[in-house]
Structure 1
């Protein structure tokens, strides 16, 4: 505030000086008349009279008044003032009567030394003498801009401060008397370009003081209008380890790994938790010191988001493309100092890549007193720009030399120029103290000391603690010396590096929002002179996280999983809840595709799928929370799943071997194949048949042809012949699968994945037979699905079910061999191009339970003992008995509210204040899937102020009475819910992320039962 008052003082001085002789109109022909008009409009000058002079007496009066000294001046008595002039001012008789006190006060307090040094210690004030540029600039710079200059250097220093130009210095400097036109030029220069001693622009100080409005300064062209939007001006690289990000206005803080990410795949440059971000003094520039240096001339894209300006503007997500990291500058050792009893610190012009490296000789890098001191180790600090050289012997007081050698290299491999420093060794006896802090978050803070520090107990090993990797100490009680607020909130991890100490706290012991006190007990750390700390108490300001997490990227992980990276550390429960994720294909939900979600890193979720995915998809995520409990709103992010699996040949089969025109070889692959390009499956030259010692390449086969079938998952190769015997040139004949093998040169799938082998050798060929059954599954309580290994082009329902009067034949049999009645049969083709037959069971046969899992399936046959359904080659379905696999999840059959008030247990003290609901399933639940770590196991209740306190699997059979009817509930088929305020109108829900399942691992699906519950009575005592 004092500086602002001084600024106003100077402006008032100049304005008053300028108004001493007011001329009503702007004079003609003056150099700075336009500037004078601007200054008049801003109130920095009063009137024009640009040709008039000013004197020193006038100037000192107005200077002291504007500086707020008027009261002190007036408090002087006339006698005191006269005495000062008599004793100290040699030209007292020239001082006008109205200026006596002012000159006396200025002389008394050393504000003026006069114009003649030869009379010192007296003063020749020269009150009526004209003012020079040097004098005006001394007043302007010392009183208003924070400088301390004399008249001998004020002109040159004014050039350095931007007040006047070099040509103006040459113009004003020689003048013995300034006129108001000159004053206008100098003052306008100060307002336009002048910079105070503290680095702030002079005009900005005037605006802050309220002397000039920002709008008026902009209109006058003295400042540029502030940008309306926070933007990145540019990103550059000064070396391979650092990026410089420049913004168009001051920002609040540098940001961290959540605000910057490298978007270039396979970039050597790396940003992660270990990356350092430093906001420079101009508040517009951030220097990022990368965790991994870039390769020479590496080109990357940098994404920046979440940065906020000092004025509250937020940066739109920005990607700066094609940033070249290039280093052609030789690094330099720029300074050195003794920082400890055994340690010398050497500072460099850029980050150092060498030393040290394991196995390197430290003497290659430094020499201390020509090798008299032996070097123990070399450590990097401060973004690799400082090397601490630790010696085996303590440094002796006096001087020491250290030579930095060319073996020290930057990350581009350039060695430094050899440099020798001679240093004074002066023992430090002062304990380290905290001088600042940074990165104050709820779970950690970094304290900054005035010198390098080390902990008196260093960590020994890494351990996993609650999913985090932390360093452990010989005595974990050491951590109790570092805490916040009170001793209950101790640290769980510490890291000392140079002058910085990072203290981390568990989620349950977070720093409070706003002001927080950090405590460090005495003698738990020391500086490098072995001075131990006194007890430390330091106040930090913690900003609460209010921003929800966002998805930064999605990466494919194999063909059946993705890794989703969020912007910050996540809450595990919400991150691993599969209900918070949905997969869309072509805008429609892909049902039952997600099998699980796991938090594999603090902000990375791995989502696994039940099937391999290929193509374009969309992930919908919602309700995922960060550590502060901020939940993300519904977010959709597109991603692509690429086929990464090499194809294989599933088999080859020969058809129509006895038909000269139709003889066909079908080769089936594991997936859709490439039908063009160098690795196309349609090149006949890639196939060769071998029989005995003979081999024939199929492109040599006369009239051979090839085409892709089954959605490019197979090829049909037609191999016609003229007669059954081999012709004279051996290029066509009737094939016999006995001893016949096929070789295939390297081909690729549709995604471009090549077969691992360059060729498949000795692939046997099958002869035509039957269409195999892949699997038979009970998929729901009324549905059995039969999947084939080929497509049926002729389909007959009588192969599966026949009914004539009371006679029933069914391909499905229960454990007793009795027929399962089928109400409806449907045929379809699945995504693999194979047939699926869906059998809908008759109403009386619905079930999710197969006793012992022992249902059987066998195709019905005709009089010839064959099925009638067949594929395009006439192969009928195989006649082979198959087990029916249980893939049907348990379903809720009934939910009962047990009215304890009407039951025989109403008087039991164990029931007082408690209510019960029974959830009955279609089959037994595997008790190992009812989660013991959560007492409600995924169930919830709502309505009527209902409160759920416990849920468990009923492991015994009971009978409940509904009205007058008794119903038997088998053991392990019901879940008992215990709570308060239950009645028949309570809604009951279950979340399938808790994984309750039957013995075959079929998970119970989420449900929400909102209909009125049946009221039941029971003698069952659950407690």
Structure 2
């Protein structure tokens, strides 16, 4: 150091190493420039501002300044202010306050030569922490990022999936709950994926994603459209109905066995990375697992927790220590991918503590799901209908013992308690489970449980989700919530409109709430076909929420399987040979099941030999009678004789022209027609792949193949429906057609026909309406008289020249009872006299049976049905009292004909 420092002996011993370090790295030029390049120190001398700034800026801030410019550079570097500069230039020496001010300025505003702030260089060197620098006020804390504004609309962000059994629906806001099957609807009718009441809906931890476990898994790469509706966010916002289209369910990842643990004395749980399809219930468990190389025999395996876990139940109890579980590749996910063989060595340690509740979810007025700390099982087995005894259900209640559970369902650690019959109050509610009501899989039962849940007030509106046809006379309404039975089954809450928007009166016969509480079956008084709408109002859920008046359209289609075909051959073996097949239904004329496909027609000619009509050259087929029949032109020999050596079964075929047998007055030939499966226009396919049809000879046609083809429709009207259309009509053929058989005399007695009117119905068939004189009854049989019809030797013909023939046929009763008179008896009694007896099975005791009275203070107590007399009992009845009946109550005669609605406003007899 002596070589570089002048008067080195004057440097105090405690500072020698620091002086040497400063000289070596050029941090100081000393106090006398004349001795340069040596350095002169004056450790006991007062220090000027220029000297202190040289030390600070060169050593601490990376500058190269001298005493001649240190003050200027210090102000440029932000260490001192202009005011400080003026003060420091006139001071001979610094005092402690001056030094503190300079150091504070350096820390607060000073910038090093490398561009960093001086305080940051100290933080980077570890000399001071950022927290201390912030506390001292030298740096400002980083401003917290402004929270993104909360969305003002609830929206679906995306719908994703990584397997075929689950959908992940992500929202932009936390939700109140996950919802259920009424909130998520797969719009594709042909989708293999199914969401229904058996699906599971879980809310993620951040409450922004709903995990839907499907009831039926999707097909690989199946594409669906998902409609999401009536979902509420925690902040009260509701989702506008949203449809996410073209969601592809695809699984390309192998499932994995993730972990295993002992959860019971006889039970091991294996957890998987995704839902598992195989094993299925009843499968041999040894195909899928081995426990301790087979030393433990497996009794059964059971999937839980949305098929993501499998519980292995052993025949013998597990011993303490370690047990090896091997999961085999036969375990497969819903894409058919198997796991890789996986082994787990798990510890067995007996659990002596009973199960306890650690959480809950889906707390609604009608149910709550409690979450236990381990898998549980109930201590009573359910019956065949999954119901439990009242005594056992009383062990689960809320608030007090007057509110027992209605049902129970266990899924692993979760216990769902149904409180449909004793609803949970909104807000805080206490759930109680009596001691020894459940047990864990070690056999430890619970202590008495009391758990507080928060039940959100149910304000979700009732919504009609869809209308589906059940059959030709009923529809099924599906709602989003469990409904109040009284309002759901009140038929006055439903109105049917036709395609023009007009009310169809007295068409609803009944409304029945389904077992699930969310469906209502509406039954009509007659079959409907075509386009309609239903108006629903005043229907409530169990919380009293009322549906807004809703109108939803639906289409009623023919759902009856086509059957009972008939065939007739015209000009057999001659030119113009034609086979007509009547399907008695409007049939499909294109597609796979079209009746115009010639390959569907096979002729059996005897001894097992047959040929297909498509194999004969020149065969043609066309649809007739509004697609209810086909005409097949089949070349005969006469048609083909101009060909050189025409070949039978190739160029022609001659049908028999003589009867092989007679049935029901109709002659049939020996050949038989076989028709492969066809469908009607509504898509209903024949029940059988092969339909055998006898072939009749032409000559006559008659009644439609229907039990109601000849029917009495009121006391003086008969309708006759034929199986073809009359093109040449002679009314006289039917004027002598009606008679009755008198059992007393054994003779037929003519019934006069005053008018015989011919019309063609929508099916293209002739309908003859006969107006009678002298019968005057809504019954077809009374006092030993039975009404009949017969038509022979007729001149009325169809387009093929065939005449009408109707063998003796008993008329079917389709005439409803009619009101003959309404008689005022006294102030408490009015009698309604009908044209025939009412079937007592259609009436109820101590009931008004659909009757009502009005006018003045009249009141009806009951209506007593006795044969053709109905006695109305009430108060303040008068001969001016109005009497009404509503046919939906279904009073009917012995033939099932329902008494029509009526209102009598005239003065009573």
Q: Decide: shared fold, TM above 0.5.
A: yes
Aligned residue for 1:786, secondary structure, equals strand
Q: After TM superposition, give the deviation of residue 650 of structure 1 in Å.
A: 0.8
Q: Tell me the residue number matched to 2:53.
A: none
1:736 alignment partner, one of 654, 657, 660: 657
1:498 alignment partner, one of 396, 408, 412: 412
Aligned residue for 2:368, secondary structure, equals strand
Spell out, residue by residue over 1:297-346, the C-alpha distance to the aligned partner (whole angstroms, 9 max, x if none).
33333222110122222222222222222233344455555555555555
Structure 1: how far apart are the matches of 2:696 and 2:862? 62
Q: After TM superposition, give the deviation of residue 256 of structure 1 in Å.
A: 1.2
**1:737–1:400: structure 2 CA closer, same or farther, 3 Å change rule?**
same
8 Å Cα contact 2:701/2:724 also seen in 1: no
Q: Tell me the residue number matched to 1:951.
A: 863
8 Å Cα contact 2:328/2:341 also seen in 1: yes
**1:818–1:942: structure 2 CA closer, same or farther, 3 Å change rule?**
same
**1:644–1:533: structure 2 CA closer, same or farther, 3 Å change rule?**
same
Q: After TM superposition, give the deviation of residue 290 of structure 1 in Å.
A: 2.5
Q: Tell me the residue number matched to 2:796.
A: 869
Q: Tell me the residue number matched to 1:478.
A: 392
Structure 1: how far apart are the matches of 2:857 and 2:138? 80
Q: Tell me the residue number matched to 1:975.
A: 870
Structure 1: how far apart are the matches of 2:582 and 2:737? 32
Q: Tell me the residue number matched to 2:625.
A: 710
Structure 1: how far apart are the matches of 2:805 and 2:404? 71
**1:310–1:813: structure 2 CA closer, same or farther, 3 Å change rule?**
same
Q: Tell me the residue number matched to 1:533.
A: 446
Structure 2: how far apart are the matches of 1:280 and 1:951? 60
Aligned residue for 2:274, secondary structure, equals coil
Q: Tell me the residue number matched to 1:832.
A: 763
Is 2:870 the counterpart of 1:992?
A: no
Q: Tell me the residue number matched to 2:725.
A: 791
Is 2:205 the counterpart of 1:275?
A: no
Spell out, residue by residue over 1:64-95, the C-alpha distance to the aligned partner (whole angstroms, 9 max, x if none).
xxxxxxxxxxxxxxxxxxxxxxxxxxxxxx99
Q: Tell me the residue number matched to 1:261.
A: 185
Structure 2: how far apart are the matches of 1:396 and 1:686? 69
Q: How does 1:359-758 map to 2 (within 5 A)?
A: 359-361=283-285, 364-365=288-289, 367=291, 378-389=301-312, 400=322, 402-407=324-329, 409-412=332-335, 413-416=337-340, 418-421=342-345, 423=347, 425=349, 427-429=351-353, 431-455=354-378, 457-462=379-384, 469-472=385-388, 476-505=390-419, 507=421, 509-543=422-456, 545=458, 549-555=462-468, 557=470, 562-570=475-483, 580=494, 582=496, 584-585=498-499, 601-602=515-516, 603-606=518-521, 618=533, 626=541, 632=547, 633-639=549-555, 641=557, 645=561, 649-654=565-570, 665-673=579-587, 707-716=622-631, 736-738=657-659, 740=669, 741=671, 743=673, 746=676, 748=678, 751=681
8 Å Cα contact 1:438/1:445 also seen in 2: yes
Q: After TM superposition, give the deviation of residue 758 of structure 1 in Å.
A: 7.7
8 Å Cα contact 1:237/1:325 also seen in 2: yes
**1:315–1:690: structure 2 CA closer, same or farther, 3 Å change rule?**
closer
Is 2:165 the counterpart of 1:241?
A: yes
Structure 2: how far apart are the matches of 1:344 and 1:51? 71
8 Å Cα contact 1:743/1:759 also seen in 2: no
8 Å Cα contact 2:462/2:545 also seen in 1: yes
Aligned residue for 2:363, secondary structure, equals strand
Structure 2: how far apart are the matches of 1:683 and 1:244? 47
Structure 1: how far apart are the matches of 2:231 and 2:468? 25
Is 2:782 the counterpart of 1:852?
A: yes
8 Å Cα contact 1:726/1:732 also seen in 2: no
Segments of structure 2 that go 5 or more residues without pairing to the other structure are 1-76, 81-95, 98-102, 110-118, 661-668
Structure 2: how far apart are the matches of 1:492 and 1:513? 18
Q: After TM superposition, give the deviation of residue 280 of structure 1 in Å.
A: 1.5
**1:544–1:792: structure 2 CA closer, same or farther, 3 Å change rule?**
farther
8 Å Cα contact 1:893/1:921 also seen in 2: yes
**1:995–1:560: structure 2 CA closer, same or farther, 3 Å change rule?**
closer
**1:268–1:823: structure 2 CA closer, same or farther, 3 Å change rule?**
same
Aligned residue for 2:804, secondary structure, equals coil
Spell out, residue by residue over 1:899-925, the C-alpha distance to the aligned partner (whole angstroms, 9 max, x if none).
34xxxxxxxxxxxxxx44433333211
Q: After TM superposition, give the deviation of residue 237 of structure 1 in Å.
A: 0.9
Q: After TM superposition, give the deviation of residue 682 of structure 1 in Å.
A: 6.1
**1:574–1:847: structure 2 CA closer, same or farther, 3 Å change rule?**
farther
Q: After TM superposition, give the deviation of residue 250 of structure 1 in Å.
A: 1.9
Structure 2: how far apart are the matches of 1:572 and 1:783? 43
Q: How does 1:349-368 map to 2 (within 5 A)?
A: 349-353=273-277, 357-361=281-285, 364-365=288-289, 367=291
Bigger CA radius of gyration:
2
Aligned residue for 1:928, secondary structure, equals helix
Structure 2: how far apart are the matches of 1:393 and 1:770? 78
Q: Tell me the residue number matched to 2:216.
A: 292
**1:917–1:317: structure 2 CA closer, same or farther, 3 Å change rule?**
farther
8 Å Cα contact 1:461/1:471 also seen in 2: yes
Q: What is the Cα-based RMSD across aligned positions, in Å?
A: 5.0
1:888 alignment partner, one of 810, 815, 819: 815
Structure 1: how far apart are the matches of 2:266 and 2:586? 69
Q: Tell me the residue number matched to 1:24.
A: none
Structure 2: how far apart are the matches of 1:395 and 1:719? 80
**1:998–1:685: structure 2 CA closer, same or farther, 3 Å change rule?**
closer
Spell out, residue by residue over 1:331-383, the C-alpha distance to the aligned partner (whole angstroms, 9 max, x if none).
44555555555555554433344557534345953546x77766655544333
Q: After TM superposition, give the deviation of residue 560 of structure 1 in Å.
A: 6.4
Structure 1: how far apart are the matches of 2:640 and 2:214? 74
Q: After TM superposition, give the deviation of residue 283 of structure 1 in Å.
A: 2.0
8 Å Cα contact 2:509/2:889 also seen in 1: no
**1:251–1:897: structure 2 CA closer, same or farther, 3 Å change rule?**
farther
Structure 2: how far apart are the matches of 1:812 and 1:320? 67
Q: After TM superposition, give the deviation of residue 998 of structure 1 in Å.
A: 0.8
Spell out, residue by residue over 1:874-928, the C-alpha distance to the aligned partner (whole angstroms, 9 max, x if none).
444336443332211123344455434xxxxxxxxxxxxxx44433333211111
8 Å Cα contact 2:532/2:556 also seen in 1: yes
Segments of structure 1 that go 5 or more residues without pairing to the other structure are 1-49, 54-93, 96-125, 133-167, 193-221, 463-468, 802-808, 901-914, 956-971, 1017-1023
Spell out, residue by residue over 1:144-174, the C-alpha distance to the aligned partner (whole angstroms, 9 max, x if none).
xxxxxxxxxxxxxxxxxxxxxxxx9999755
Q: Tell me the residue number matched to 1:899.
A: 826
Structure 2: how far apart are the matches of 1:782 and 1:381? 68
**1:671–1:262: structure 2 CA closer, same or farther, 3 Å change rule?**
same
Structure 2: how far apart are the matches of 1:452 and 1:690? 67
Q: After TM superposition, give the deviation of residue 828 of structure 1 in Å.
A: 1.1
**1:720–1:735: structure 2 CA closer, same or farther, 3 Å change rule?**
farther
Q: After TM superposition, give the deviation of residue 830 of structure 1 in Å.
A: 1.2
8 Å Cα contact 1:647/1:749 also seen in 2: no
TM-score, scaled to structure 2:
0.71
8 Å Cα contact 2:474/2:523 also seen in 1: yes
Q: After TM superposition, give the deviation of residue 990 of structure 1 in Å.
A: 3.5
Aligned residue for 1:273, secondary structure, equals coil
Structure 1: how far apart are the matches of 2:727 and 2:503? 30
Aligned residue for 1:191, secondary structure, equals coil
Q: After TM superposition, give the deviation of residue 282 of structure 1 in Å.
A: 1.9
